[in-house]
Amino acid sequence: MLAALAAPLIAPHDPYAQDVSRRLIPPIWQAKGTWDHVLGTDKLGRDYLSRLLYGGQISLLIGISAALISGLIGTVLGLCAGYFGGWVDSVVSYIVTTRLAMPVVLVALAMAALVGGSLKVVVLVLGFLLWDRFAVVTRAATQQIRNQDFVSAARAAGLTDLRIIRQEILPNIMNALIVVATLEMAHAILLEAALSFLGLGVQPPLPSWGLMIAEGKQYMFFQPWVITIPGVALLLLVLAINLLGDGLRDITAPEARN
Amino acid sequence: MPLRTLTRAATLAATLATSLATLIAAHPALAGKADDTLVYASDSEPENVSPYHNSAREGVILARNCWDTLLYRDPKDCTYKPFLATAWTWTDDTTLDLTIREGVVFHNGDPLGPEDVAFTFNYVLTPEARTVTRQNVDWMKSVEVTGPHSVRIHLKAPFPAALEYLAGPTPIFPAAYFKKVGLDGFAKAPVGSGPYRITKVDSGRGVSMERFDRYWAESPLGKPKIGKLQFRVIPDGESRMAELMTGGVDWIWRVPSDQAEQLRAAPNITVLNSETMRVGFLQFDTLGRAKENSPLKDVRVRQAISYAIDRKAMVDNLVRGASRVMNALCFVDQFGCTDQGVTRYPYDPAKAKALLKDAGYPNGFEIDLGAYRERDYAEAVIGYLGAVGIKARLNYLRYAAFRDSLRAGKTSIGYQTWGSFSVLDVSAFDGVYFRGGEEDLTKDPKVIADLQEGDGSTDPETRKAAYAKALQRIAAEAYALPMFSYSTNYAFTSDLTFTAQPDEVPRFYAASWK
Amino acid sequence: MLAFTFRRVLVALAVALTVSVASFLLLHLSGDLATAIAGPEATGPQIAQIRQDYGLDQPLLTQFLTWGWRALHLDFGNSFYFRESVIDLLAARLPITLYLGIIALAVALFVAIPLGVVAAVKRDTWIDRTALAVSVLGQAMPSFWFGLTLILIFSVNLRWLPVSGNATWKNFVLPAVALGYYAMPAVMRLTRNGMLEVLASDYVRTARAKGLPPRKILVRHALRNAVIPVIALSAVQFGFMLGGSIVIEAVFSLQGLGQLAWESIARNDFPVVQAIVLVLAMIYIGLTLAADLLNAFLDPRLRQA
């Protein structure tokens, strides 16, 4: 992750600089590898390591921004449902059920096709699709807290609903939200990879790991590193984010571990 | 619930149940020499098997293997030979008389006669027929039966390339059968008179064919040697390759050069590289419809783009095989195609930058680039443009969507390719893109006039001169940048004897097992 | 129970209606339909004629009602690309996706339930941790990459299974594993948690005290109770799998609903996309409704919700 963030500092080459006469150089551990291109070059002779680093940056960017957008939507809905209950709760539950009934990949693909795939579109589409878990978790957590003494006390003191939500409830459900955020970040990164793989995600020449797998697919039989490297990178990144989430959950709510 | 809905629901349920049952009980597909079944795979499925109702190359393959045409172009010397027509004479510039062969039968047993010829052409000329590639037929005005074995074709205007078209994209349909089943029925159970008979059209999966036993003996195509053909739609290139390596299919094509080289080393697989008539080119939105104040309106910008791309390096390193850089917008072997006197744009990024500066874009600009085929080539072009400061964004689409977007003026630069429907005449190339039709993004009256003169004249020299003028103007104004001719890599089981032709039509009827 | 059922069915119907509005709008956002139907060579008056023939000049609400009425009668119009009726296309492709989904679910359950049980019984041992690792890996691996890797190993190198297509059951093994693996972690975690809960419950303790053999307790008492929520989850997972099979079908060239959807999107063939979104959503709504009712039937406490 750090490496991806520091990409501009440590990348040995410009990730967009192509040289078709130096294409498909194998990585260093193979017979024809060179130190000039540690992970070799891709089909257009671009340095693979540099693209991998920049690609990681883009995958992270997508994961974080999509999680932020969906977190905002989901938390607001979940807070309303959990805090006010009654018909607000019913309406929110109904919206969540409707959202769950829409096949995510299909709707995301269709939207990307209508508007035209680009980094911005992918982030927005994923952000608007992945808020369901935020809403469900926030609603449950808010319901638990709503009737506790300190909330009743705040209400008795005449605080407005908005202030109660902001000052009393939100800080108490933050931990749960962060855990969901890590999960959704991982989810968004994987979905972006799938969209790019189907050709409707991030558009070339931007590198994203999903796109790199899609491009490397052509070489999977004879130059397998082209597809293995971004695949393993993506796996490790998502694994790291998931474990981070699990770790956070263990620290913040040990009793929920089982 | 009304009866219609009930029946519809019942049919749906029945289809679901039977197809589930067949899925579970299905037998493996047969492939290879042992089963006398040649399985060939390609990426897309024609939207309609009727040859006049698709513009997919897979459709052309089916058409050439399952339907006959009036004339036959000998691939060896490019002369026209009798096929369904035994003789033909020009009565005048716009009237062509043809004698139709006796004794030919369609796959359903109906005899083929002049009524079938007249019906086919008159039908595809009607607007209701919605013929997909109009220029293949719209040079004809009407066709009439003039005797028990003869027809007369009336042309709208003199059209010297008529014979070329009658030897290619104009197959003959069985009139009685087509009238009975209509286009929808015909698409599901097509009938032709060619060497192979279509036995099953399986939506989404492919087409099964078998040798037509009553195929006429004197046909220049000869009697097919392989008993069964099967076309499988496998959209994914790697799946096609893996299928070939594991014996699931016998023949694939358009294998990227990198993979073709590796496949060459594999046992039991033969790789064949052959140049095709397909030419790649960048088509520019010169009227600036896609973008307000489009830089592409300026000829200097179009020239800068032309200088910025190292087509030779692309051919040498990326495309490889038998491909060649093209300077004129046509395929060199087409009648009327010449790059004599045509402006050339060698790779010169410095000059490109200077031209951009002159045009008022010292720091380049942003633009969209649409593509539908080899993504690598489009990406390489984007990389070259990036090197002179032009930031191009790729919009990769399926062909139909890509074509519609260009026609509607929504794409600034289109990475086009055109195979001219295998017609060896410049009219089939530049006539499509520069004669004022829907694909024409420039609508330059001078070019249109030159092309019209070339298409309408019967004197070969006048035609050549007119086409040369048009090609020179297209290049000088950089209305489009010709890239290179495509070559295709065929890969097939070593059991098979197969020869490729530059017109990108695999003749399976001429293939045989070793 | 009756009131609960009624309420749930009502919600399901409301959701179905909303989804239909959404998928109806999807088609109408995709551009001028009359031009699309007419094809690229149509002239102005022809397009106007089509606009009138198809009722595209009517107000949007009227159009929606007509469309909805037809959809209720399983009439989704014609595909722009194939020019044949959408419902025929769906009927040809849906079985493949259903078949894939069923096998994938079976694979997921056959692996996940035993793994979950063992993980619960051998809690906090290396077995538990391995099971957890396998499930975390399942969530972290891009399914298409996993599918490609399976092809590389089992089809190309070992030649055990075919690469693509849908000719025999063998063609479905690899895609089902790739799709099922993605659904496995959730089932496993639920089984494990359910087992832990049941194993700690009073009646299992009583059974143990009575001296029943552990295997019998495990199967007859514990597993039976722990598996109930898993069945409900499976219904939901099955719905997700149908929606998610688009990627797997693309990898394995399976000509199912997902592949049709993907190609139709790329061809701008929106009547087909719209119908697929609607059909998948309806299947999902039906499955969750069934799962809810089943859960409520088995566990009366839930009827209050």
C-alpha pair distances (Å), A206 with each of A52, A210, B302, C10, C247: 11, 11, 24, 47, 22
Cα C194 to the center of its chain, rounded Å:
23
Q: Considering only CB atoms, which chain C residues are within 8 Å of A242?
A: 136, 139-140
A256 part of contact set with chain C, CB < 8 Å: no
Q: Which residues contact B100 (CB under 8 A, 6 or more apart)?
A: B70, B84, B85, B86, B112, B113, B114, B117, B149, B150, B151
Give yes or no for residue B24 having a pLDDT over 50: no
Q: Is the pLDDT of residue B452 over 60?
A: yes
CB pairs under 8 A between A and B: 63
Higher pLDDT, B242 or C45: B242
Overall residue count recorded for chain B in this entry: 514
Position B28 confidence tier, pLDDT thresholds 50, 70, 90: very low
Written as one letter, the residue type at B17 is: A
CB contact under 8 Å between C89 and B203, yes or no, is yes
Distance in angstroms (rounded) separating the CA atoms of residues A205 and A211 = 10
Enter the pTM of the model.
Answer: 0.79
pLDDT digit string (tens) for B390-444?
999 888 877 777 887 888 888 999 999 998 877 888 988 998 899 988 889 999 9
User: How many contacts (CB atoms, under 8 Å) link B and C?
Assistant: 127
Q: Which residue has the higher pLDDT, A11 or B3?
A: A11
More confident residue, A161 or B194: B194
Average pLDDT, chain A: 80
| Per-residue pLDDT reduced to its tens digit, B283-298 | 999 998 888 889 999 9
Q: What is the pLDDT of residue B393?
A: 87
CB A201 within 8 A of CB A208: yes
What would the mean pLDDT of B348-365 be, rounded to a whole number?
Answer: 94
Three-state SS at B491: strand
- The more confidently predicted of residues B120 and C187 is B120
Q: Per residue in B295-353, pLDDT tens?
A: 999 999 999 999 999 999 999 988 888 899 999 999 988 989 998 889 999 999 999 99
Record: contact A109-C246, CB cut-off 8 A:
yes
Q: Describe the crossing of helices C126-140 and A170-197 by its angle, rounded to 10 degrees.
A: 60
Cβ contact C92–B203 (<8 Å): yes
Strand partners, B88: B98
How far is the alpha carbon of B215 from chain C, nearest alpha carbon, in Å?
30
Radius of gyration of chain C (CA): 24
A24: closest chain B residue by CA: B258
Q: Between chains, do C40 and B205 touch, taking CB under 8 Å as contact?
A: no
- Segment C273-290 mean pLDDT: 87
The alpha carbon of B137 is separated from its chain's Cα centroid by a whole number of angstroms, namely 15
DSSP 3-state assignment of A106? helix
pLDDT class for A257, splitting at 50, 70, 90?
A: very low
User: A107 pLDDT exceeds 70?
Assistant: yes
Q: Does C158 touch chain B (CB under 8 A)?
A: no
Say how far residue B338 (Cα) sits from the centre of its chain. 22
Alpha helices for B70-191 (secondary structure H): 114-125, 162-166, 175-188
Could A105 and C247 be called an inter-chain contact, meaning their C-beta atoms sit closer than 8 Å? yes
Which residue of C84, C96, C159 is in closest CB contact with B246?
C159
C158 to chain B: nearest residue by CA?
Answer: B246
Taking the C-alpha atoms of residue B327 and residue B342, their distance in angstroms, rounded to an integer, is 7
C84 backbone dihedrals φ, ψ, rounded to 5°: -120, 170
Q: Which residues of B touch C267 (CB under 8 A)?
A: 398, 400-401
Residue C163: C-alpha distances to residues B40, B148, B248, B258, C246 (Å)? 15, 54, 8, 21, 17
ipTM of the complex in this document: 0.79
Mutate to test the interface with A, among C26, C145, C157 (most CBs of A within 10 A): C145
Grade residue A133 by pLDDT with cuts at 50, 70 and 90: confident
| Distance (Å) from the alpha carbon of A89 to chain C's nearest alpha carbon | 11
Shortest Cα–Cα distance, B204 to chain C (Å): 6
Residue A4 pLDDT grade (very low, low, confident, very high; cuts 50, 70, 90): low
Encoded amino acid at B273, one letter: N
DSSP string of B143-177? EEEEETTEEEEEESS--TTHHHHHTSS-PPP-HHH
Alpha helices in B252-398 (DSSP H): 257-264, 299-308, 311-313, 349-358, 375-387
pLDDT tens digits for range B150-176: 999 999 988 888 998 999 899 999 999
Rounded to the nearest 5 degrees, what angle is found at the Cα of A91, between the Cα atoms of C286 and A67?
A: 85
Q: Give the integer Cα–Cα distance in Å for C37 and C220.
A: 61
* Cβ–Cβ gap A231/C266 under 8 Å: no
Q: Does A21 touch chain B (CB under 8 A)?
A: yes
Written as one letter, the residue type at B452 is Q
Helices (H), chain C: 2-29, 33-38, 44-53, 60-72, 86-121, 126-140, 143-150, 170-199, 202-209, 214-216, 224-252, 257-266, 270-298
Specify whether the CB–CB gap between B125 and B138 falls below 8 A. yes
CB contacts of B379 in chain A (<8 Å) are 44, 204-205
Q: Alpha-carbon torsion C263, C269, C271, C277, what sign?
A: positive
pLDDT tens digits along B181-230: 999 899 989 999 999 999 999 877 789 999 999 999 999 999 999 999 99
Predicted confidence at residue B147, as pLDDT, reads 92
What pLDDT score was predicted for residue A74? 92
Contacts of C44 in chain B (CB under 8 A): none
pLDDT tens for each residue of C218-233: 776 777 777 777 877 7
